[in-house]
Amino acid sequence: MSKKFSVLARLKSFKFALKGLWHVVQHEHNFRVHLFATLLVLLLGFYLNLSVFEWLWIVAAIAMVLVAELFNSSIEKLVDLVSPDFNPKAAIIKDIAAAAVLITAITAVVIGTIIFYPYFFNS
């Protein structure tokens, strides 16, 4: 039987999610780099007064990279738990997760270039 809905339990889930986020902020250097890049992009966006449409793309790109980084960190932790010793399968699992982050980061750079380029190089 399914459990009864509880607002308190939902709030607890939210607290756990924030705890996970804070852990990654504290311990994952790559995540901090992405957060710093996010801050710069947001500041530039406000400075250039982007349109709503442009903001939608920027926000989606930022979320895509941060979410990929969170999944990557989570997969790394899981691999370290189940395979603390060297294992070629562990290596490829981590490499694939890292590749996912790379793809999202490249896509975000492309989106950012398409949006910001005209503000700097079109007359």
Ligand X SMILES: Nc1ncnc2c1ncn2[C@@H]1O[C@H](COP(=O)(O)OP(=O)(O)OP(=O)(O)O)[C@@H](O)[C@H]1O
Please identify, using beta-carbon distances, which residue of 101 and 115 lies nearer to ligand X: 101
Regarding 16 and contact with ligand X (CB under 6 A), the answer is no
76 is in an annotated binding site: yes
28 is in an annotated binding site: yes
The most distant pair of C-alpha atoms in the chain lies apart, rounded to whole Å, by 65
Site for ligand X in 41-80 (CB under 6 A): 76
Using CA atoms, how far residue 32 sits from 26, 28, 81, in Å, is 8, 7, 23
Cβ atoms within 10 A of the Cβ of 115, count?
Answer: 21
Q: Report the interface residues with ligand X, using CB under 6 A.
A: 30, 76, 83, 86-87, 90-91, 94-95, 98
